[in-house]
Structure 1
Amino acid sequence: MTAPARRAADYAEAFVRGPAHLGRGAGGVGIYTTEDADTARQYAGNGGVVVRAVPLAGARLVGVEELLARRAQELATLTEREQRSLRVLTEDPGRLAAALGYDAVRYPDGTVLVVNRTALAVEEP
């Protein structure tokens, strides 16, 4: 295996057995995944590794629209001061989902932001 391929294999192994490393992207803090195999292969690139994973039975997934609607409903019950103090938590969909007990957030484009890696069944790399 070449060095970049070895690093990709190491990342895949770390994803399955190592400490969770959450990314920070436009959708919030979490592990960015996709439901589309072609998109996954594009992100992996040459020498990359695609790790197959599916949510376990009972995993709690929420659509981003539903999550944001719930946020708005919950914030509407708070004072302006309380809302300001919770802004950091509630503006990040990943953090908000985790705080509300969800395992992942599903986006309309097929992206799934996983905030609880233990809610996944992962294929051996």
Structure 2
Amino acid sequence: MSRVEEKLKYRRKRRQLLLILTLIFVFLIMGVLSVDYALREMMALDEAKVLGYDVQENYTVLYVVGESIYIKNESIDKVTLFIEEGYHKILQQFHRLMEGIGNVGIPRHFFSNTTQNNYQRQK
């Protein structure tokens, strides 16, 4: 077997292993959540959750392994706004880059008219 074939075989095996590990992790989380839900239903517990959240008027409560974490909604709004602004800036930069790539070879406004005329004659 050549080196290229061995490398492709290695990549396939690595992808398969990653897929299997991801599925195992998903099934593990689903199992823990379903057992937690069933146990809380049988014992009539309301507050002790393994994973979950609850949105209230001023706070969002995260439940992680029986602990309650309170986060102000104002803080969440600030982080959300920061992420959205960053996303839009990245999108604008991407569009500028794509426009620059699309305009390759086209004379721009800072060239003189003679250069533009020479360019049009070449076409």
- TM-score category, normalised to shorter length: under 0.3
Q: Which has the higher contact order (CA 8 A, sep 6+)?
A: 1
Highest Rg: 1 or 2?
Answer: 2
Structure with greater helix share of residues: 2
TM-score by length of 1: 0.20
Structure showing the higher strand proportion among its residues: 1
TM-score relative to the length of structure 2:
0.20
